[in-house]
Amino acid sequence: MNYLVPFTKLLFKYKIVDSKEVLRLYMEAFSENLKEIRAIKYKSMDDVAQNSTFDSSNYNKYENGKGNPTIETLLKMASAFGIPPKELFDFDFDLEKYKIEE
């Protein structure tokens, strides 16, 4: 199960943020972070996929913001990069910009 989607649904349900655009923007920031990590680690998409036990087309979806990785997939990615899982989310994203004004 992808934990980003339920969290984002709660934000919409309680009208904390103004639209589903936030999820798209968050996934865009996440995918850019994946690209940066991969560049720093000098790995190809195939290397990451091979070390993560999923194919490169699936990994490509995550780097292009078109897939929602599960927790299991996130753990496999972190392992392939040799980093703690929290580093996958080490990027700036200002949720305050999207809060609904009351």
pLDDT of residue 7: 58
- For 65-97, how does the pLDDT look when each residue is reduced to its tens digit (9 = 90+)? 888 888 888 998 898 889 999 999 888 877 777
HEC assignment per residue over the chain: CCCHHHHHHHHHHCCCECCCHHHHHHHHHHHHHHHHHHHHCCCCHHHHHHHHCCCHHHHHHHHCCCCCCCHHHHHHHHHHHCCCHHHHHCCCCCHHHHECCC
Q: Give pLDDT tens digits for 5-18.
A: 555 565 556 555 55
Question: Model confidence over 20-53: pLDDT tens digits?
Answer: 777 888 888 999 999 999 999 877 888 777 777 7
**In the numeric block, which tokens belong to residue 92?**
């700036």
Pick the CATH number of 30-90 from 3.40.50.720, 3.40.50.40, 1.20.1560.10, 1.10.260.40: 1.10.260.40
* Predicted TM-score of the model (pTM): 0.72
Give residue limits of the domains in the chain: 30-90
